[in-house]
A and B are shown apart, each in its own frame.
Chain A
Amino acid sequence: MNALAASSALAAAAGGLDPGASSWLLTALILVPIVTAAVVVLLPASRPEAVKLVGLLGSLATLGLSLAVLFSFKAHEAGYQMTEPKFAWISKLGIGWQLGIDGISLWMVVLTGILFPIALIGPKIHGDVKSYVLWMMVLEGACMGSFVALDLFLFFLFFELVLFPMYMLISGYGYGRRAYASLKFYAYTAAGSAFLLVGILAVASRYASTSGGKWSFSLPELMTTPGISGSIWMFVFFMVAFLVKVPVFPFHTWLPDAHTEAPTAGSVILAGVLLKLGTYGMLRFAINLFPEAAVRTAPIWMVLALIGMIYGAIVAAMQKDLKRIVAYSSVAHMGFIVLGIFAFTRQAGTGSVIQMINHGITTPALFLLVGWIYERRHTREIAKLNGLWKAAPILGSFFLVTTFASIGVPGLNGFVGEFLVLIGTFPTWPWLAGIGATAVIFAALYMLWAFQRVFTGEPDAENSTTRDLTWAQRLLFVPLIVLMFVMGIYPKPFTDRIQPSVDAIVARAEGAGARKAPAVTRSTQEAHP
């Protein structure tokens, strides 16, 4: 099976866009990690290096597949692509293996593909390597599945499946209070999913009752269900699950604990991929199914997002633990994304998706760096770190670039996303955009302050002997730096693919009565690279 999937990947990569091969790409995206996990189960635990190699190969093959998806994706097209083949699974209920990808999920898939190999080999593994690699691979398969599923049942299945391996990673390989943090993580998100499943079932049974008893869980079909567009309670049920996942204030309390106690790889994946499941779920499922309810309740989510941004920034500034700062910065950044989503304009929506990618690159990068600092100094307490730049200039410069990217310095990726969100929110919600802009300044404040305390000045005796990054670590990190610059300088390839999908969602929202932005003028188009 592995060979088959790999060969189809090769065919897609080499032969270009052979439709027969590319149609299996999405299925292969899910199966390759899962099959790798199955292979890992069969390997002896006494050979950790072999297990790690197999895991790395599996995740690299998945990366190849996700790049193949990227290259066979048709830009400038809105609808779902690669929706063939479909299989019936529980045909009585119309549940099937139905996958599809649009300009939003495309990037989530690529992001997942890039982050997993890095997370797998970047940090040191403390403990049993075999089950670590096993859970990482199951996690990758589940993440991929969540991002490409078009069937709501299938989506929920993968959405839930994500929790278990993540839980195993935090509880098995985390730091001091990992038992508490991992349980909190699981309980919070599982409670959120409870609402999601009931919401899905309510939509599906509404569909069944209006279509003469024919059941379906397929998103395109459910979108046509009459009378659900304005159903506030169903929309809220969907949103609860996604708000917890993002997390939006006041559902965020699991996140700092989970991030702080998770092993570095867990934090990388949690921040890079799992949080995106929330905003992605809003875009793909909640808003598409209930545009009218989304438009009517939009101010609530935008205000919550704003509170999260400001609250996250203030709390982050006060943290003593470097990792907790990054964790709270996630709350702030994700709030920004939610703000853009519910502005329902082309720029803000595109900016949000760009920002999802940005956050998926810079925050994992920061976690990786913090993890490497911890490996060297065995502490993450800011008070005990100082003058690291002198001792480890490469580490310092990587940290500085990533910090700049995270706070949105022009020329780096963060700027593009934040700017688009603000400029897109302003025409419809000027006040909220104004408050959002101040949050950007806060972010610069706490991140730079942290950088200053940790890296500048003269190192004391303990810090002056800190080793710099090894060559392997530098090589691993360079792709992330390159991505930060590429997205910051030339984001067109990204926006070309994102925009049509965002337009479709915005059109749906505007059809349901969202405030319309003034006609796109020349100046805003220029602002939009």
Chain B
Amino acid sequence: MIASLLAQTGQIPAPNINYRSIPFVVLAVGAMAMLVLRALSNRVPQWVWTAITILSALVTLVWSTFLLNDLVSTGPREIMMDALVVDNLSMIMALAMCTSVVLTALVAHSYLIRERLEGPEFGVLLLLACAGGILMAQALDLLVMFLGLEIMSIPLYVLAGFHRRRSVSAEASMKYFILGAFSSAVFLYGIALTYGGTGSTHVLFIRSYVSRVLREGGHSLAGQGVLMAGMALVLVGLAFKVAAVPFHQWTPDVYQGAPTPVSGFMAALAKVAGFTALLRVLGQAYVAVRESSPDALVSNTVDRLPWPWIIMALAVLTLVVGAVMALVQVDIKRMMAYSSINHAGYVLVGVAAANQESFRSAAYYLLTYTFTIIGTFAIITVVSGPGDRLHRLESWRGLGRRRPALAMLMTLFLGAQAGVPFTTGFLAKFGVILAAARGEYTLWLALVAMLVTAVSVIFYLRVIMLMYAAPKGEAHAETDLEEANAAALAAAEGRRLYVVPTATWVAIAICAAVTLVGGIWAGPLVALVDRISI
């Protein structure tokens, strides 16, 4: 029997693996190397693990940059039996994801030592999650996309529960895992239905199927219930990963419970990967269909294909719920979780406008958000203090006096997220809102997004205000909880709180530099995302 199985293997077409075009293997190799090294020796210092993590990510980064440069002359190409693609979108997002690994590894280095969680596992999980994210970005086949999603998600579940001695961390991990597994199942079921509707799981095939139906089948997708349901479920799966309302409930709990550097990493990586997949699917199944249709069809495509309306509804919900819920939080990590939901709303605005330009603006948003959010969580890591406990907003009171430089940088990051001019955050928001204002049916969305900005400013400013507020003694205590927190703060201060390790400084400095310089010298980053085409 085994012999007959072996005989059959010859008939299965083996893909011709083009290793040159899949830089993420370096991440996997780096992860394996660390595990092997761990098995060989017990006495490897922490900096070696960090170094290997950063090195693997940097090699991938450089490799992706080379591929990106080649693309100018060769153009995008499908590889591995068309399952993957090397194009500007995937490579630029790979850069963002690798950067997030480098920055997180820098921040986590001293965090792991501080919390006595040393070992290679953290780095291994970072690398694997990133490899999954890049695979997702490169995937053309929905099944491969699912593979990437799982390779990314499972390390993230583990990372969320990495702080073994904090029960909230385990709780976060469990919650994230159960809901995440559920959403993966929904995603997979969506793929199955899509396959049932179109006969393929390949996005390019889905695209040609949709345009054929539009052209021949009475210009309507109304009869395509299976395809519709399938695409809707795929959308739900991805919306869960990017934390779009109403699939966001896990976010505040997980962000709060996860080790602080991991919260930043999740916010960056999962959003970038999830949105890239969303751009890929929608770009092919909608934008490409629309732009390649004969003129008579273009004007009415919107009415026939419901995706933009669904995305618009998601965008409005995500924007409003994220901003309003963030207003009432008293825990900085929960607040940042809702803030990240709010940011997902802005990216969705760019997605909803559904054209080449708007997808570029969404990509720019993701690219710059990576730096702001990791920088923000790096500072939160420092302020959280030993044990990763001081998360209440009250812990930030008076930081401006004790640590002026840190407070100034936090002000920069929060300002950028609020959309203060001359930061990348402003240009990012401007980009998606411009995209929405240009679309004939999304102008109202631009106004909603701008009004939400005015609301979201309030909760960022609250933190800034606390940082520069007078110490507790001069103000009046509001609740017992806050007093307890202040007491913990005072006790922790005795143990030299807010020591910023060098590696963390480097990470914060990189994030701050990109946020500020990119906001003023806007050309290079804008030119980079301008290369993206669907």
Whether B450 pairs with A198 at a CB distance below 8 angstroms is yes
- For window 446-461 of B, CB contacts with A under 8 Å fall at 446-447, 450-451, 453-455, 457-458, 461
Q: How far is the CA of A167 from the CA of B462 in the complex (A)?
A: 11
Check A193 against B421 for contact (C-beta < 8 Å): no
Contact of B468 among A131, A197, A202 (CB under 8 A): A131
Note all chain B residues with C-beta closer than 8 A to A194. Answer: 447, 450-451, 453-454
Question: Taking A183-B458, A202-B437, A205-B438 as contacts, is the C-beta distance between A161 and B468 under 8 angstroms?
Answer: no
Q: Assess whether A92 is in contact with B400, with CB atoms less than 8 Å apart.
A: no
Contact B400 A131 (CB under 8 A): yes
A92-B422 contact in complex given A171-B465, A201-B433, C-beta closer than 8 Å: no
The CA-CA distance from A164 to B412 in the complex, in Å, is 11
Interface: A441 (CB within 8 A): no
Query: Which B residues are in CB contact (< 8 Å) with A158?
Result: 421
With contacts A90-B526, A198-B443 known, is A187 near B422, CB below 8 A?
Answer: no
Q: Which residues of B sit under 8 angstroms from A172, Cβ to Cβ? A: 465, 468
Is B526 a contact partner of A92 (Cβ separation < 8 A)?
yes
B181 within 8 A of A: no
Cβ-defined contact, A179 with B421, below 8 A:
no
Q: Interface 1/0s, chain B 511-529, versus A by CB < 8 A?
A: 0000000000011001000
Provided the pairs A90-B522, A160-B421, A172-B468 are in contact, do residues A128 and B433 lie with their beta carbons within 8 angstroms? no
B205 at the interface (CB under 8 A from A): no
Q: Which residues of the partner chain B approach A89 to less than 8 Å between Cβ atoms?
A: 522-523
Contact of A191 with B400 at beta-carbon distance under 8 Å, contacts A157-B422, A205-B437 already known = no
A90 contacts B461, CB within 8 Å? no
Q: Is A345 an interface residue (CB 8 A)?
A: no
* Interface flags, B292-322, vs A, CB<8A=1, else 0: 0000000000000000000000000000000
Q: In the complex, A179→B422 CA distance in Å?
A: 25
Q: Closest B-chain residue to A157, C-beta based?
A: B421
Q: Are A186 and B447 in contact (CB under 8 A)?
A: no
Q: Pick the contact of B447 from A131, A168, A195 — CB < 8 Å? A: A195
Please give, as numbers and ranges, the residues of chain A lying within 8 Å of B419 by CB-CB distance.
160
Tell which of B419, B426, B457, B522 has the most Cβ of chain A within 10 Å: B457
Residue of A nearest to B411 (CB): A168
B434 to chain A: which residues have CB within 8 Å?
93, 201, 205
Near B by CB (< 8 A), chain A positions 126-162 give 128, 130-131, 156-158, 160-161
Q: Of the candidates B457, B465, B530, which one forms a contact with A187 in the assembled complex, judged by CB atoms under 8 Å apart?
A: B457
Residues of chain B lying within 8 A (CB to CB) of residue A190: 453-454, 457
Query: Given the interface contacts A89-B522, A193-B454, A202-B443, does A167 sit within 8 Å of B461 by beta carbon?
Result: yes
Count, chain A residues at interface, CB 8 A: 34
A128 touches B426 (CB 8 A): no
Tell me whether B522 and A186 are in contact (CB under 8 A): no
The verdict on A182 contacting chain B, using a C-beta distance below 8 Å, is: yes
Q: A45 to B455: give the CA distance in the assembly, Å.
A: 33
Give every chain B residue within 8 A of A187 (Cβ-Cβ). Answer: 454-455, 457-458
Whether B446 contacts A198 by the Cβ 8 Å rule is yes
Which residue on A lies nearest to B523, using beta carbons?
Answer: A90
Question: Which residue in B400, B437, B454, B526 is a CB contact (below 8 Å) of A198?
Answer: B437
Considering the chains assembled together, what is the distance between the CA atoms of A479 and B437 in angstroms? Answer: 48
CA–CA, A197 and B443, complex, Å: 12
Q: How large is the interface on B (under 10, 10 to 19, 20 to 34, 35 or more residues)?
A: 20 to 34
Nearest B residue to A154 via CB reads B421
Q: Do A197 and B433 touch (CB < 8 A)?
A: yes
Chain B residues 400 to 414 lying within 8 A of chain A, measured CB to CB, are 400-401, 404, 408
CA distance A349 to B429 in the complex (A): 36
Distance, CA A167 to CA B451, complexed state (A): 18
Beta-carbon contacts of A184-219 to B below 8 Å, as 1s and 0s?
Answer: 001100110111011001100100000000000000
B132 within 8 A of A: no
Verify B455–A198 contact, CB threshold 8 A.
no
- Contact partners of B458 in chain A: CB under 8 A: 183, 186-187
Nearest-neighbor residue (CB-CB) of B446 within chain A: A198
A93 to B433, CA, bound (A): 14
Judge whether B415 is part of the interface by a CB distance below 8 angstroms.
Answer: yes
- Do B468 and A171 have beta carbons less than 8 Å apart? yes
Query: CA–CA, A157 to B443, complex, Å?
Result: 21
Query: Does B500 reach chain A (CB closer than 8 Å)?
Result: no
Is B451 a contact of A191 with CB atoms below 8 Å?
Answer: yes
B35 within 8 A of A: no
* Interface: B420 (CB within 8 A): yes
User: How far apart are the CA atoms of A90 and B523 in the complex, in Å?
Assistant: 6
Contacts of A191 in B (CB 8 A): 451, 454
Q: Is the Cβ of B468 less than 8 Å from the Cβ of A168? A: yes
Query: From residue A187, how far is it (CB to closest CB) to chain B in Å?
Result: 6
**Per-residue CB proximity of A45-75 to B under 8 Å, as 1/0?**
1000000000000000000000000000000
Given A89-B522, A191-B451, A198-B447, does the pair A161, B421 have CB atoms closer than 8 Å?
Answer: yes
Query: CA of A276 to CA of B95 in the docked complex: distance in angstroms?
Result: 45
Instruction: Provide the A471-486 mask, 1 if CB < 8 A to any CB of B, else 0.
Output: 0000000000000000
Q: Which residues of B contact A167 (CB under 8 A)?
A: 461
When C-beta atoms are compared, the residue in chain A nearest to B408 turns out to be: A41
Question: A171 contacts which chain B residues (CB < 8 A)?
Answer: 461, 464-465, 468
Contact with B along A287-326 (1 / 0, CB 8 A): 0000000000000000000000000000000000000000
Assembled-state Cα–Cα distance A45/B407 (Å): 14
B398 to chain A, nearest CB (A): 11
Q: In the complex, A128 Cα to B408 Cα: how many Å? A: 13
Chain A residue nearest to B451 in the complex (CB): A194
User: What's the Cα separation between A92 and B435 when bound, in Å?
Assistant: 13
Give complex CA distance A41, B455 in Å.
29
Closest to B462 in A: A183
Min CB gap A300→B, angstroms: 21
Q: Check A157 against B437 for contact (C-beta < 8 Å).
A: no
Contacts of B464 in A (CB 8 A): 168, 171
Provide the bound-state CA to CA distance between A205 and B446, in Å: 13
Interface pair A201/B438, CB less than 8 Å apart: yes
B457 partner, pick from A92, A186, A195, A202, beta carbons under 8 A: A186
Chain B residues within 8 Å of A195, by CB: 447, 450
Kindly state the separation between the CA atoms of A128 and B471 in the bound complex, as whole angstroms: 13
- Rounded to whole angstroms, the CA-CA distance of A494 and B97 in the bound complex is 58
- Please state if A161 and B530 are interface contacts (CB–CB under 8 Å): no
A45–B468 Cα gap in the complex (Å)? 14
Q: How far is the CB of A431 from chain B (nearest CB, A)?
A: 36
Question: What A residues does B421 contact at CB under 8 A?
Answer: 156-158, 160-161
Q: Kindly list chain B residues whose C-beta atoms are within 8 Å of the C-beta of A201.
A: 433-434, 437-438, 446
Q: In whole Å, how far is A267's beta carbon from the nearest beta carbon of chain B?
A: 19
Inter-chain CA distance A156–B450, complex, in Å, is 13
In the bound complex, residues from chain B placing their C-beta under 8 Å from that of A45 are 404
Contacts of A131 on B, CB cut-off 8 Å?
A: 400, 404, 468
B176-227 CB contacts (< 8 Å) to partner A? none
Q: What residue of chain B has the Cβ atom nearest to residue A167's Cβ?
A: B461
A469 nearest CB across to chain B (Å)? 30
B450 and A92: CB pair below 8 A? no
A186–B461 CB distance below 8 A:
yes
Q: How far is the CB of B527 from chain A (nearest CB, A)?
A: 8
| CA distance in complex: A167, B420 (Å) | 12
Cβ of B526 and Cβ of A197 under 8 Å apart? no
Task: Report A-chain residues with C-beta under 8 Å of the C-beta of B443.
Answer: 198, 202
| Distance between A483 CB and nearest chain B CB, rounded to angstroms | 32
CB distance from B6 to the nearest CB of A (A): 58
Chain A contact residues, CB within 8 Å of chain B: 41, 45, 89-90, 92-93, 128, 130-131, 156-158, 160-161, 164, 167-168, 171-172, 179, 182-183, 186-187, 190-191, 193-195, 197-198, 201-202, 205
Cross-chain pairs A/B with CB under 8 angstroms, 19 sampled: A41-B408, A45-B404, A89-B522, A90-B526, A92-B530, A128-B468, A131-B400, A160-B420, A171-B461, A172-B468, A183-B458, A183-B461, A183-B465, A190-B453, A194-B447, A194-B450, A194-B453, A198-B443, A202-B443
7 tightest A-B contacts by CB?
A: A194-B450, A201-B437, A190-B454, A191-B454, A157-B421, A161-B421, A205-B438
Given A201-B433, A201-B438, list of 4 further CB < 8 A pairs? A128-B468, A186-B461, A187-B455, A191-B451
